[in-house]
Amino acid sequence: MTTHFAYEATGPRLPADAMRAFGAQLLQTAGATADDAAWVAETLVDADLRGVHSHGIRLTEYYVRSIERGGLRTRYDIREIGSGPGYVAYDGDHAPGQVAARLAMRRAIAIAKVHGVGTTTVRNAGHFGAAAYWALMAAAEGCVGYCTSNMPSAIVLAYGSAEGATGNTPLAWAFPTRDTPRVVLDMACGVAAHGRVAVAGTGGQRLPDGVGADRDGRMTNDPSNVKFVYPAGGPKGYALSIVHDLLAGALSGGAPTLLKPEGGPDQLIRGSQFHLAIDVRWIVPLADFTAEMDAQVRAVNALPPAEGFTSVSMPGQLEEERKVDRLAHGIPYPPGLLAAIEPLAGRLGVAIPWQA
Amino acid sequence: MVSAFVPAAAEHVVAAAAMRAFATNVMHAAGCTRDDATLVADVLVEADLRGVFSHGVTRLTPYVGEIAGGTVDPGAEVRTVRVGPSIAIFDARKSPGPRSAKLGMEKAIELAQQGGTAFACVRDGTHFGPAAHWALLAAGAGCIGIATSNGGGRSGVLAYGSRKPALTNGPIAWAIPAKRHAPIVADMAVGVWAFGKVRVSAAAGQQLPDGVGVDADGQPTRDPNALVYLHPFAGPKGAGLGIVIETLCGILARAVPAASRGPGDPMPVGQVFAAINIAAFRPPDEFLDEVERTIDAIHALRPAEGFERVLLPGEPEWLSRERALREGIRYPKGVLGPVALTAQRLGVTPVWPAAR
C-alpha cells in the first residue's frame, strides 16, 4: 500500500471568477500579456476547483518569481522545429507552459482527427500546471488524451538512490464518457506531489513514513526538511518516472531532468512536454466507446467500499464532482495557502479578494 | 526491475538454444505451425534469459492446455480489420498471442515511420508473454514502444477503496532504446505483488506484510492461503493505471473491461501496441546520446542505505540475460518439473536430465 495524507480545505468559499481575476492580475502585473495571464489563471483555478491545490493559484507565486528573474518570457516566439503528417515538434521559447501546452495539445487533437493519432512535443517552456487539464482537453474532443512533462529539478529519488533522479514526473491519461464524469488519471510518479508536501507544510502537518527524504537522502517526517520524495510503489513509480522523463525531455530535445543546465547564467526554464491524442472514432464508434465507459464507471461505483471508504470512485471522478460543487458554491482553500500569496499580492499592489 | 528474480540455487542449467529448440518442438507437437512454434519459443526463452521465469517456458503447460481446450486456436488466421494512417486494427481470432502481438507491433512501427506515432489494437487475442518483449521490439526499431494487454482471467486486483476487484492484473510496458547500454524498460502489472509471490509465501509458510490483499469477504488478510484479491500498487496511482489498461484493452481494443464483466461472460483479451518514431521528432543520434548520458548520471547517483548501486529499470533483467547467454539459463528449483511432464505427454524429450 502507499501512504496517503490529505489536507482539509476549510476556509471561506471564494468564487472561481474572483480567483481567476486575481490570478490574472498578478501575472499581468508581473508582465504577462492580458491574454496569457487570463489563460494561465484559468488553468490554475481549474486545479483549485478540482481540489488539486498543489497546482492551483498558489503557483502564481512561483510563476511571478520566474518572470521576474527572467526564467520565463512574457514575450516569446513559439516555433515549429519539425513536423510531419502526424506530428509537430515545438520550441516553446521559454513561454509560460500553459500557453505552449494549449497550442501543442490542440494541435495533437487536430492531427488526430485527420490521422487517427496526433503527437506533439515542446521543448523550452515553463511549468504546464496540472497534466489532467491537457489530457481532458483531448477527452472533450472525443479523443484519448495522454501527456507528460518534465522540469529542471531532480526531486524524486530513483529506487535505491539517496539523490534525486527525475522531477516529480506527471503523467495523465483521459478518456471521454457520455453521462458519467470524464475519466482521468493524473499522477505524479513520486509518492506525493512536492506541492502537496509544501501545502502540508503550510498547514503544520507531519508527514507519514515513506513520503519524503532530507538532503542526505534519509527519510524524514518533517515537511520543511523534505528535499526529495520517494517514487510511488518503489521500483514501479521509478520506472514510470524515468520513462516519462525521457518521453518528455529526450524526445522533445528539451533534455531529461538530470541533464538540464539548471541555474545557468540565463536562468531560463527548460521544461519539456509530450502530448498525444487518439481520435476514438478511428477505432470504434464514439457512442459505443462512451457507452462502455459509462458502464465501466457505473460498475466501479457499484463496488462495495472498503473500510474507511464511503464509495469507490474512478480516477478523476472525485475531482470532477468537486468541480461541479465548487463552481456552484465557491472554492474553499486549505489553511495557510492563501496567506502565503498575500505578500506577493501586496508587493504587486493587487487587491486580495478574500480581504475585500 | 519489477520482476527480477534471483534464484538461490539453480536446479538445471540449460543453454538458450537447446531450450528454444525444445520449446519449439513442444508447441509444434501441440498443434502450432513450425513458424508459430518458433516464435512462441523465442518469446518464452527470452523471458527465461531475462530471469522472468513466471513468463518463460513454465507457460508451455498452460499454452498446451489452452490449445487442447480450444481457447487458443493454432490454425486461426489473424484478420486485418482496418489500417488507417496511424491506426491498425486486427482481429486475432484466438490465434497464439505472440503471432498477433508481433503483427501488431510491427505494423505500428511501420506506420510510425510516416505518422510519428502509431497504435495497433488487437481484438480477441490470447496471452502474448511479457509485455516488455513487444515494447522492446519497437525499441529495437528506433522507436519508443508501449505494449499492454488486459488479462483473460477473472479480475483479481481491487479498485482503490474497494472490497471487490475491478482490474485484471494485465501488464503495461514502455521501452526506450539506448546505444551502449541496455534499453530502458518499465514493465509492470498493477497489483502490489504478483500472485506468484503470494504463492511463494504460502509454500514457505510465511505471513504476508500488511497491505498486500484481502480475503474472499474483502477483509484485509496476512494469510497467503486466504488472500484472493490484491491491492493495486501505490493505491490510487496503481489502480488508476489499471483503469487505463482496462480502458485501452477492454474498450478501445474491444475486449471487455474487467469491471463490466459478468460472472459467466467470456473473457476476451484486448491488446494495444504503440510505436513512437524517434527520428520524426529529432535526430536519433542526439536522442540516444542523451539517453546514454542519463543512464550514466543515474549510475552515478549515491545509493541509499541498503543498496549497492542504482540501476535503471530493465537493467537487472538485462544483466541476467547477459549472464544466461554466457553460462546457460539457471532454472530455479521447481520450474522445469511440470514442463517436462507436459512435454513427455506430447512425446517430446526434455533437454535437461530427468528428475531423480
b/e per residue B221-253 (b: at least 16 CB within 10 A)? beebeebbbbbbbbbbbbbbbbbbbbbbbbbbb
Contact A233 B237 (CB under 8 A): yes
Contacts of residue A76, defined as CB under 8 A and 6 or more positions apart, other chains included, come to A92, A93, A94, A95
Distance CA A306, CA A291 (A): 27
A93-107, A205-219, A279-293: least confident range = A205-219
pLDDT in tens, B194-230: 887 888 888 889 999 999 999 999 999 999 999 999 9
CA-CA-CA-CA dihedral for A66, A68, A69, A75, to nearest 10: 80
pLDDT in tens, B96-138: 999 999 999 999 999 999 999 999 999 999 999 999 999 999 9
For chain B, the average pLDDT equals 93
Pick from A217, A240, A255: CB nearest B186: A240
B301 closest CB neighbour out of A116, A165, A306: A165
Which residues partner with B79 through β-bridges? B91
ipTM attached to this prediction? 0.95
**Are B312 and A242 in contact (CB < 8 Å)?**
yes
- Average pLDDT score over residue span A183-192: 95
Name the residue among B211, B259, B298 with its Cβ closest to that of A296.
Answer: B259
Q: Helix B284-299 vs helix A235-252: angle between axes, to the nearest 10 degrees? A: 140
d(CA A224, CA B211): 28
CB < 8 Å to B123, chain A: none
Q: How confident is the model at residue A264, as a pLDDT?
A: 63
The pLDDT value given to residue B96 = 97
Q: Give CA separation, B25 vs B60, B96, B123, B141, B352, in Å.
A: 11, 15, 28, 29, 14
Judged by CB atoms closer than 8 Å, whether chains meet at B251 and A284 is answered as: yes
In a 3-state reduction of DSSP, which class is residue B237?
helix
CA pseudo-torsion sign B341, B347, B349, B354? positive
Q: For residue A77, which amino acid is it?
A: D
User: pLDDT at position B3, please?
Assistant: 41
Please tell me what DSSP assigns to residue B190: S
**pLDDT for position A328:** 96
Chain A residues whose beta carbon lies within 8 Å of the beta carbon of residue B234:
2, 191, 232-233, 236-237
Collect all residues of chain B within an 8 Å Cβ-Cβ radius of residue A183. 243, 247
Contact residues on chain B for A306, CB-CB shorter than 8 A: 158, 161-163, 214, 218
In the structure, what pLDDT confidence band is assigned to residue A202 with cuts at 50, 70 and 90? low
Pick the residue from chain A with its C-alpha nearest to B214: A306
Contact check, Cβ <8 Å, B192/A249: no
pLDDT at B8: 54
- Active-site residues of A, by number, are 127
Determine the distance in angstroms separating the CA of A75 from the nearest CA of chain B, rounded to an integer.
Answer: 25
**Residue B60 grid coordinates:** 508451455
- The C-alpha cell that represents B351 in the structure block: 533437454
- For residue B260, the chain A residues in CB contact (below 8 A) are 292, 295-296, 299
Q: For residue range B229-261, list pLDDT tens digits in order.
A: 999 999 999 999 999 999 999 999 988 888 888
Contact A243 B239 (CB under 8 A): no
Strand B213-214, strand B229-230: pairing: antiparallel
A115/B281 Cβ within 8 A: no
Give per-residue pLDDT as tens, A220-252: 999 989 999 999 999 999 999 999 999 999 999
**Which of A242, A252, A257 is closest to A275 using CA atoms?**
A252
Q: What is the model's pLDDT at position A301? A: 97
Q: Are A248 and B281 in contact (CB under 8 A)?
A: no
Q: What is the model's pLDDT at position B255? A: 86
Measured between CB atoms, which of B85, B231, B252 is closest to A144? B252
Contacts of A220 in chain B (CB under 8 A): none
Supply the mean pLDDT for chain A.
93
Give the angle subtended at the CA of A174 by the CAs of A170 and A177, to the nearest 5°. Answer: 160
Query: Which of B184, B190, B243 would best serve as a mutation to test chain A binding (most A beta carbons within 10 A)?
Result: B243
C-alpha to C-alpha distance for A283 and B84, rounded to whole angstroms: 9
The stretches of chain B forming alpha helices (DSSP H) are 16-29, 34-49, 60-69, 97-115, 131-139, 195-203, 236-247, 278-281, 284-299, 315-327, 336-345
Give the pLDDT confidence score for residue B5 in this predicted structure: 44
Predicted local distance difference test score (pLDDT) of residue A2:
33
Residue A6: the pLDDT is: 47
Chain B residues within 8 A of A285 when measuring between CB atoms = none
Write the residue in A84, A299, A306 that is nearest to B218 by C-beta: A306
pLDDT over 50 (residue B1): no
pLDDT (average), residues B300-308: 96
**Count of residues in chain B:** 356
pLDDT tens track for A52-85: 998 999 999 999 999 999 999 999 999 999 999 9
CB A282 within 8 A of CB A118: no
Residue B229: list chain A partners with CB under 8 A: none
d(CA A145, CA A313): 20
Query: Going by C-beta distance under 8 Å and a sequence separation of 6 or more, which residues neighbour residue B175?
Result: B132, B135, B136, B138, B139, B144, B145, B183, B184, B185, B186, B314
- B72-98: pLDDT as tens digits: 999 999 999 999 999 999 999 999 999
Q: Is B215 exposed, middle or buried (0-12, 13-18, 19+ CB in 10 A)?
A: middle
- How far A122 CA lies from chain B's nearest CA (Å)? 10
Indicate the range of A141-150, A182-191, B146-155, B160-169 predicted with least confidence: B146-155
d(Cα A330, Cα B20) in Å, to the nearest integer? 65
Matching residue, cell 500472485? B195
- Whether residues B244 and A238 touch (CB distance < 8 A) is answered with no
End-to-end CA distance of chain B: 34
Q: Chain B contacts of A246, Cβ < 8 Å?
A: 144, 176, 184, 290-291, 294
Q: Which of B123, B132, B140 is nearest to B79 (CA)?
A: B123
A-chain CB neighbours of B305 within 8 Å are 162, 218
Q: What pLDDT score was predicted for residue A233? A: 95
Tell me what percent of the residues of chain A surpass a pLDDT of 70. 94
Residue B18 is which amino acid? A
Q: How far is A244 from chain B (nearest CA, A)?
A: 9
Average pLDDT over residues A194-205: 71
Predicted confidence band at A4 (pLDDT cuts at 50, 70, 90)? very low
Contacts for A24-27 with beta carbons within 8 Å, 24 or more apart?
A25/A350, A25/A351, A26/A60, A26/A64, A26/A341, A26/A344, A26/A345, A26/A348, A26/A350, A27/A60, A27/A63, A27/A64, A27/A67
Q: Which of B27 and A2 is assigned the larger pLDDT?
A: B27
Residue B129 near residue B98, CB atoms below 8 Å: yes
User: Nearest-CA residue of chain A relative to B160?
Assistant: A312
Under an 8 A CB cutoff, do A158 and B301 touch? yes
Nearest CA-CA distance, residue A70 and chain B, Å = 26
Interface test with B, best of A109, A238, A243, A288 (most B CBs within 10 A): A243
pLDDT reported for residue A267: 82
- Looking at chain A, which residue has its C-alpha nearest residue B287? A250
For residues B246 and A39, what is the distance between their CA atoms, to the nearest angstrom? Answer: 34
Give the residue from A312, A313, A318, A319 with the most B CB atoms within 10 Å of its CB, the best one to mutate.
A312
Query: Chain centroid to CA A78: how far?
Result: 21
Instruction: Give me the amino acid identity at A205.
Output: Q
Q: Which residues 6+ apart lie within 8 Å of B199 measured at CB?
A: B224
Q: Do A159 and B188 touch (CB under 8 A)?
A: no
User: How many residues make up chain A in this entry?
Assistant: 356
Cβ-Cβ contacts under 8 Å between A and B: the total is 273
Contact present, A233 and B237 (Cβ < 8 Å): yes
Q: Which of B86, B187, B244 sits opposite A173 (nearest CB)?
A: B244
pLDDT at residue B25 greater than cutoff 70:
yes
Which of B163, B218, B281 minimises the CB distance to A251?
A: B281
* Distance from the B157 Cα atom to the nearest Cα atom in chain A, whole angstroms: 12
Angle formed at CA A245 by CA B275 and CA A165, multiple of 5 degrees: 140
Question: How many other C-beta atoms are found inside a 10 Å radius of the C-beta of residue A269?
Answer: 25
Mean pLDDT to the nearest integer, B161-176: 94
Contact A31, A43 (CB under 8 A): no
Q: Rounded to an integer, what distance in angstroms lies between the CA atom of residue B67 and that of residue B315?
A: 34
Model confidence at B320, pLDDT cuts 50, 70, 90, reads very high
A190 three-class SS: strand
pLDDT above 50 for B4: no
